[in-house]
Amino acid sequence: MIKPVGSDELKPLFVYDSEKHHALMHEAESLPSVVISSQAAGNAVMMGAGYFSPLQGFMSVADAMGAAEKMTLTDGSFFPVPVLCLLDNVDAIKGAKRIALRDPNMEGTPVLAIMDVAAIEEVTDAQMKTMTQKVYRTEDPDHVGVAAFNGQGRFAVSGSIQVLHFSYFQDDFPDTFRTAVEIRNEIQERGWRRVVAFQTRNPMHLAHEELCHMAMDRLNCDGLVIHMLLGKLKKGDIPAPVRDAAIRKMVELYFPPNSAMVTGYGFDMLYAGPREAVLHAYFRQNMGATHFIIGRDHAGVGDYYGAFDAQTIFDEEVPAGALAIEIFKADHTAYSKKLNKVVMMCEAPDHTKEDFVLLSGTKVREMLGNGIAPPPEFSRPEVAKILMDYYQSLDA
């Protein structure tokens, strides 16, 4: 099985031992505590679940700058984005060596993790500017990821953490949320050796489904892990339970038994395009995938990134040998009226735009909201039915 990044074994930060977990929860009641940002909470969940292994906690400013500027921490290890716990006020934890981190996304802000504080540093405007530019390739405050990153505060609290809860993800998505540890175990149990991962924050239409079949066939993979983002999205994105139901229906009807797993992870989308694509590859290797599909404008938003920047970054910027996972570079896929099947558009040079079934997201949403199923060349009818029910419920 593929090794985790930078280590022979996964290093999840969740405290699984029940006695130790109980003792830490009791200790947390007497510790200075602070409510962290949603982005920091997502980072804690990812560290707890082993996805960010071998990271041991939140980064110092020096490590965060190294990650942003050259994807390398001060100890020489590889990590593609800063993982910071940024706060706008640290009065409650000044001078504390051990603190409780509270979850902003759950009622009552329960304790999410305990941190051994290594440092509390004030991040300069110049440092924030550099990190923003390097990670997001823009400082535009209208970029949803830039706004979220810069809106957290300027005090970076760093140190190792012990994770005590998986936030709302485990409670709200018990059938879908899986840790990297659990996915690795299931891959092993299924006997898969070559595994391709597919990232999604949207329902999967026919083109996505066929892209997964295409990748599995060309890479000679035993299995596919459909890995769904369960964290905060941008306005207008379809809620996770609806996506989950639609994807499960597709797998049930159109994939052979024991060929696809539907899973999810808890994290707030960065919308950082190329740099986020590298992070996605990083934690897919940790969960046991040997290959990862990256298509056009992966993890992008608006017009901030070139169509294939998320692919070329692996050749141009990722340090050699940093990742063992292989990238399956995909173009936009669509149904060809000429060939009567879904193809990668770059592999059909004799086609014009009119030869493909192409529908904008706006048009599809409009059709679904009016109870009209998109054509079968675009979406499976069973999937469309689930989405139609959702959109029509919004107007009810």
Q: Which two three-digit tokens encode residue 39?
A: 């982005």
As given in the structure block, the two tokens for residue 260 are 């696809």
Give residue 79's pLDDT: 98
Q: What dotted CATH number matches 18-170? A: 3.10.400.10
Is pTM beyond 0.85 here? yes
C-alpha distances in Å from residue 125, one per residue of 135, 144, 150, 154, 183: 15, 19, 10, 8, 40
Question: Tell me, what's the pLDDT at 238?
Answer: 82
Residue range 316-354, pLDDT digits in tens: 999 999 999 999 999 989 999 999 999 999 899 999 999
273 three-state secondary structure: coil
**pLDDT tens figures, 92-118:** 999 999 999 999 999 999 999 999 999
- DSSP characters for 144-182? HHHHHHHTS-SEEEEEEEEE---HHHHHH-TTTB--HHH
Same fold, 18-170 and 177-395: no
Contact (CB, 8 A) for 373 and 381 = yes
Catalytic pick among 201, 248, 340, 380: 201
- The answer to whether 93 touches 120, Cβ cutoff 8 Å, is yes
Asked if 98 is an active-site residue, the reply is no
Contact 179, 52 (CB under 8 A): no
Domain edges within the chain: 18-170, 177-395
- Angle (CA) 356 361 365, round 5°: 120
Assign domain 177-395 to its CATH superfamily.
Answer: HUPs (3.40.50.620)
Residues 135-151 as b/e (b if ≥16 CB within 10 A, e otherwise) read bbbbeeeebbbbebbbe
Nearest alpha carbon to residue 118 among 154, 159, 155: 159
202 is catalytic: yes
The structure tokens listed for 382 are 């069973």
- How many whole angstroms separate alpha carbon 266 and alpha carbon 100? 20
Q: What is the C-alpha to C-alpha distance for residues 75 and 250, in angstroms, rounded to an integer?
A: 44
Does residue 23 carry a pLDDT above 90? Answer: yes
How confident is the model over 127-180, as pLDDT tens digits?
A: 999 999 999 999 999 999 999 999 999 999 999 999 999 999 988 889 899 999
Which member of 202, 218, 248, 258 is catalytic? 202
Give the strand pairing for 326-329 and 291-294.
parallel
Asked whether the beta carbons of 117 and 99 are under 8 A apart, the reply is: yes
Residue 232, pLDDT above cutoff 80: no
